[in-house]
Amino acid sequence: MERTYVKEALNKKDGEKVLLRGWVHDTRDLKKVRFLVLKDMTGRIQITGVESKTDKDTFGLLDNMKRESAVEISGTVKDSKQAPGGKEILPDKLTVIAEAGDPLPVDVSDFSKTELPIRLDNRFLDLHSKKAQAIFKIQSTISMNFRKYFVDNGFIEFQPPSVIGSSSEGGTELYKLKYFEKDAYLAQSPQLYKQMIACAMEKVVTITPVWRAEKHNTTRHLNESRQMDIEVAFADQMSIMKELEGVVKFMVTEINKNHKEDLETLGLKLKVPEAHYLSYDEICEMFDIKNGEDLSPNDEKRICEKFKDDIVFVHSWPTEQRGFYIMRKGEDAEAKITEGFDALYKGVEISSGGQRIHIPELLETMLKKKGLDPKDFKSYINSFRYGAPPHAGWSIGLERFTQTLLELDNIREAVLWPRDRDRLTP
Ligand code: ATP
Ligand code: MG
């Protein structure tokens, strides 16, 4: 007999035979009647053993089931007003495929009962829980629809290298590793590569891992994360902010369409956000922030509170707050304002981006102004000497976005196996 998934079994007619596989979520013993809740990747269904009717061995087994054990159950579908979903299974035969140890190191039915580090130590078991599954099912929809939105709009997907010969941006700390006789580094961003490919193929998209050796220990930073990036030729900051607005709206719409139950599990209702566009100067004035400084986490919170559940684009940042490679207003080395922006959503920065400098001489000047040596960036600068047009792009962190959207307290909830200052296993 072929396997039936729980979701299909819940749609079968009274009297139909099924073979189910899954895990024991819960059991209840009322002496003459024994219940088992079976779960698989599609849902949950009640198995009801009745002493006077059910096979003796099977009824006996129902009394002695360890939670989270993998089992196979064959039986008959029965309509039932009391059972969740309106159907139950009267079992013919129950087979234990893999028994779970007891006690379980993680309380699978209640997140709040096990501390996060212990859940992460036992992620294989934590993933039996409805809540963890909901988060990673939704994350899969985020990454898939991120790609889909751009590929459907004519972008091509590319894969940058993860091992690089030198720092691509300056700034964040890099992980050094041995590469034959040379030193190499883990990529902190696909920045240089996405610029080179966009300057030839125009519209590009990638989802790629990045590593930052910063010793921070916060609820919104990881040392290994995934970035969702685009880069577009012949574009400025305004046109790519519109792309970000578009893809976020699309992803949230798709989540609302496909994850009603998962959102319920997480206790969430998602609004498809509107976008507000304000310059850095306007933001400083509105929120009484000292012009020239970075936005503090508290500033980000205050700004988002005013534009509740919407995206706030803070654009045209001052020169001292942006990387050397962000375009200066009017392609002017002396300009105080750049073509760079941040996107804030539900209290935090979810993305940074802007127009890049595609003019080699301007790049050299900006590097020197930042105290960097143009010689160290020779191949980067040279890539703009042969017909590189103006171009712009941004980056949004997959885990940061998942955390923000799903209102998770800690970014570690939004990554299967976090890499942070203290955690390298499992
Ligand atoms: P932040 O100011 O939040 O530390 P950043 O400005 O250093 O971030 P960017 O270089 O702009 O980060 O990276 C682009 C995006 O990648 C960020 O907007 C964020 O969504 C995500 N991101 C950045 N650093 C991390 C990190 N350490 N862990 C997880 N996600 C990150
Ligand atoms: Mg940033």
CATH number, position 30: 2.40.50.140
Predicted confidence band at 64 (pLDDT cuts at 50, 70, 90)? confident
Q: What is the mean pLDDT of residues 189-215?
A: 96
Catalytic residue among 243, 349, 399, 413: 349
Residue-wise DSSP of 8-31: HHTTSPTT-EEEEEEEEEEEEE-S
Of all protein residues, the one whose alpha carbon is nearest to atom 5 of ligand 1 is: 352
Of all protein residues, the one whose alpha carbon is nearest to atom 12 of ligand 1 is: 352
Same domain membership, residue 140 and residue 14: no
Residues in contact with ligand 1 (CB, 6 Å cut-off): 212, 221-222, 225, 227, 349-352, 395-397, 399-400
Res. 171: pLDDT tops 70: no
Res. 168: pLDDT tops 70: no
Residue 247, classed as helix, strand or coil, is: helix
Same domain membership, residue 148 and residue 94: no
135-160 pLDDT, tens digit per residue, is 999 999 999 999 999 999 999 999 99
Same domain membership, residue 148 and residue 13: no
Could you tell me the distance, in angstroms and rounded to a whole number, from the CA of residue 33 to the centre of ligand 1?
Answer: 55
pTM: 0.96
Instruction: State percent of the chain over pLDDT 90.
Output: 94
pLDDT, averaged across the chain: 96
Q: What total of structural domains would you count in the chain?
A: 2
Residue 349 catalytic? yes
Provide the CATH number for the domain around residue 317.
3.30.930.10
Lowest mean pLDDT among 161-170, 236-245, 263-272: 161-170
Of all protein residues, the one whose alpha carbon is nearest to atom 23 of ligand 1 is: 397
Residue 34 catalytic? no
Q: What is the mean pLDDT of residues 183-212?
A: 96
**The ligand 1 atom nearest the CA atom of 169:** 10
Contact 21, 71 (CB under 8 A): yes
Residue 221 catalytic? yes
Res. 209: pLDDT tops 80: yes
| Structure token digits, residue 230 | 């685009």
Residue range of the domain that includes 141? 130-157+235-414
- Residues that place a CB less than 5 A from ion ligand 2: 352
210-239 pLDDT, tens digit per residue, is 999 999 899 999 999 999 999 999 999 999
Residue 424 belongs to some domain of the structure: no
**Proximal ligand: closest to the CA of 220:** 1
Same domain membership, residue 140 and residue 57: no
| Structure token digits, residue 48 | 């009801």
Could you tell me the distance, in angstroms and rounded to a whole number, from the CA of residue 132 to the centre of ligand 2?
Answer: 28
Same domain membership, residue 252 and residue 361: yes
Q: What confidence score (pLDDT) does residue 123 get?
A: 97
Q: What confidence score (pLDDT) does residue 204 get?
A: 98
366-389 pLDDT, tens digit per residue, is 999 999 899 988 999 999 999 999
Q: What is the mean pLDDT of residues 86-103?
A: 97
Res. 264: pLDDT tops 60: yes
Closest CA to 213 of 423, 420, 426, 400: 420
**Proximal ligand: closest to the CA of 171:** 1
Instruction: State percent of the chain over pLDDT 70.
Output: 99
Of all protein residues, the one whose alpha carbon is nearest to atom 3 of ligand 1 is: 349
Residue 215 belongs to some domain of the structure: no
Predicted confidence band at 277 (pLDDT cuts at 50, 70, 90)? very high
Q: What is the mean pLDDT of residues 17-41?
A: 97
Q: What confidence score (pLDDT) does residue 170 get?
A: 59
Closest CA to 202 of 235, 160, 165: 235
